[in-house]
Amino acid sequence: MPLLDEFGKPRLDKNGNQIISHETNVYLKSSDEVDPSVIDKVTSGNGITTVKLKDSDKAKERLYKYFNNSDDENNNISAVEKLLSAITQGVRNDNQDR
């Protein structure tokens, strides 16, 4: 998005180029859709959202189980490939929301 001054005109850098502002959107699920036992706290401010986990080993175990689910119809896909696929799908969804 173009960054505007107080008069609504595009702001320029020292070289006369228009300054562009970048945004990152973070979408969090409601508390009834996640397991709160692994979350210590969630904070948001200054454009930064942080999720602090209580026990990183427990979180890693849950992620491993999620991405290495033997009941998955695509059980021949590695956990890393599933993680990359989930990240890619999240980026696609974010781009569609814009």
The per-residue pLDDT for range 32-64, each reduced to its tens digit, is 888 777 788 888 877 778 888 777 777 677 777
- Over residues 91-95, the mean pLDDT reads 72
CA 20 to chain centroid, in Å, comes to: 21
CA 62 to chain centroid, in Å, comes to: 18
CA 30 to chain centroid, in Å, comes to: 15
Burial class (CB in 10 A: 0-12, 13-18, 19+), 32: exposed
Strands (E), the chain: 39-45, 48-53
Predicted TM-score of the model (pTM): 0.34
